[in-house]
Structure 1
Amino acid sequence: MSSLSNLLIQFSVGIVPLGVAYLAFRSATDANKKTQQTALLQAERHAELERSKVDADAYVRAKTIYEDALTQMERQVDRLQDQATLLSADLASEQTGSAAMREQIRQFQAQIRALERTVAALRGQLIEAGLSPVSGSETTGPHMIGGPPRPRPAE
Structure 2
Amino acid sequence: MSNLSNILIQLSVGIVPLGVAYLAFRSATDANKKTQQTALMQAERHAELERSKVDADAFVRAKTIYEDALTQMEKQVARLQGQAAQVSADLVSEQTSAAAMREQISQFQAQIRALERTVIALRAQLIAAGLSPVAISETTGPFMIGHPPRPRTAE
Alignment TM-score > 0.5, same fold? yes
Aligned twin of 1:152 = 153
Aligned twin of 1:94 = 94
Which residues of 2 match residues 4-153 of structure 1 at below 5 A?
4-145=4-145, 146-153=147-154
Cα distance in 2 for residues equivalent to 1:26 and 1:88: 90
Aligned-residue offset at 1:3: 4.1
Computed over aligned residues only, the root mean square deviation of the Cα atoms, in angstroms, reads 1.8
Paired amino acid for 1:65: I
Contact 1:127–1:133 (Cα < 8 Å) also in 2: yes
Identity of aligned residues (%): 81
Contact 1:126–1:133 (Cα < 8 Å) also in 2: yes
Cα distance 1:132–1:147, how it changes in 2: closer, same or farther (>3 A)?
Answer: farther
* TM-score when normalising by structure 2: 0.88
Paired amino acid for 1:18: L
Cα distance in 2 for residues equivalent to 1:97 and 1:127: 44
Number of aligned residue pairs:
154
Contact 1:136–1:148 (Cα < 8 Å) also in 2: yes
Which runs of no fewer than 5 residues in structure 1 stay unpaired?
Answer: none
